[in-house]
Amino acid sequence: MTFLPNDKIFSLKWFKDYSMIVIGAFILAVGFVYFISPHRIVPGGVYGIAIVVHYMTVGLFSFAPDGFPIGLFGLILNIPLTIAGIKILGPRFGVKTVVGFVLSSVFMDVITYMRVDGDAPLVADILLSCVFGGVLVGFGLGLIFKARATSGGSDIIAMIIAKYTRMQLGQLMIYVDSTIVLLSLVAFKDWQIPLYSWVVIYITGRAIDLVLEGSDYNKALLIISEKHEEIKHKILVDLERGGTYLKGSGMFTGNDKHIIYTVVSRREVAILEEFISTIDPDAFITVMDTHEILGEGFQSLKHKVQD
């Protein structure tokens, strides 16, 4: 990804992407301001560090007696990290990423400033705040990622370390965020905070996946049966679905096998299982969850990429 945007300015795609970044940054900020930071939860990243700094600096600055602003401190960290990332890793971080973390920081501090009850949590129950906060932060980040921007921050640190080590990027991101979470234990000396923080990190990750991959109610099936012709007819004619034959051989017998791969709805799984049980009770069926299905008969891959 180059540092300059490839999208034509003011095109429909440009408008969609930047709309998602603005909306995502706002939702992320709401999650932090109302659910995460009031309980001193530290869900990794630069804003996790900013939350620790915010509570550790209460009364230290005349311009911020309630603690250094979370959004401003996150912005202060993000700017040099992005510059370092560009110098060390090359121009991977586009204008969209800069817009994303700047808006997130601005929204956080503006919403905090406009609140009449200061740092008071919207919900007193910490676990409930973790759930709703994690969902909001994950949904906001998912929209930002969907616009082909990145969250910057601790991700850049992990990328830099990965360049000079043989460690996998995914593992490094977990290590970096976990180190930031443990920083909250040192700062606040409360074991509950890092435990709740890891809950938020997990929920945030799941929410991001849901936004990026979608929630699909279809199931993928692998069917091994001697009655594959009858099953094929049921899928093609009665269910009006497609499928693919895979060639295989039994590990024990060495006999050739016809394996049917198909994708059907949850309701059609029950119909197909009942049918197979009547014609071949010894059939072998594997039912798998699907997160996203692209291709003929489902969402177009071309349209998904363009959107």
User: If you average pLDDT over every residue of the chain, what do you get?
Assistant: 85
User: Residue 215: its pLDDT value, please?
Assistant: 65
pLDDT digits (tens, 9 = 90+) for 259-286: 999 998 888 898 999 999 999 999 999 9
Query: What number of other Cβ atoms are within 10 A of residue 10's Cβ?
Result: 8
The values of phi and psi at residue 227, to 5°, are: -95, 40
Report which residue type is found at 159: M
Q: Give the separation between CA 124 and CA 279, rounded to whole angstroms.
A: 57
pLDDT digits (tens, 9 = 90+) for 69-125: 999 999 999 998 888 888 887 766 678 888 889 999 999 999 999 988 877 888 899
**Residue-wise DSSP of 62-94:** TTBTT-S-HHHHHHHHHHHHHHHHHHHH-S-S-
Q: How confident is the model at residue 4 (pLDDT cuts 50, 70, 90)?
A: very low
**CB half-sphere exposure, 286, CA atoms < 13 A:** 7
Q: Is 119 exposed, middle or buried (0-12, 13-18, 19+ CB in 10 A)?
A: middle
Q: Give the separation between CA 92 and CA 81, rounded to whole angstroms.
A: 13
Token pair of 71, please? Answer: 């959004």
User: Residue 280: its pLDDT value, please?
Assistant: 93
pLDDT at 186 over 60: yes
| Closest residue by Cα to residue 260 from 298, 237, 233, 279 | 233
User: Residue 152: its pLDDT value, please?
Assistant: 67
Q: Give the separation between CA 293 and CA 215, rounded to whole angstroms.
A: 10
| Closest residue by Cα to residue 156 from 212, 106, 86, 204 | 86
pLDDT at 165 over 50: yes
**213 Cβ neighbours under 8 A, 6+ residues apart:** 291, 292
User: Residue 296: its pLDDT value, please?
Assistant: 61
User: Are the C-beta atoms of 207 and 135 separated by less than 8 Å?
Assistant: yes
Q: How confident is the model at residue 13 (pLDDT cuts 50, 70, 90)?
A: confident
Q: How confident is the model at residue 153 (pLDDT cuts 50, 70, 90)?
A: confident
User: Residue 93: its pLDDT value, please?
Assistant: 63
The percentage of residues in the chain with a pLDDT greater than 70, rounded to a whole number, is 88
Q: What is the mean pLDDT of residues 201-223?
A: 83
Which domains, and CATH codes, for the chain? 12-213 (no CATH), 218-306 (3.30.70.120)
When mean pLDDT is compared over 51-65, 147-161, 167-181, 213-227, the highest value belongs to: 51-65
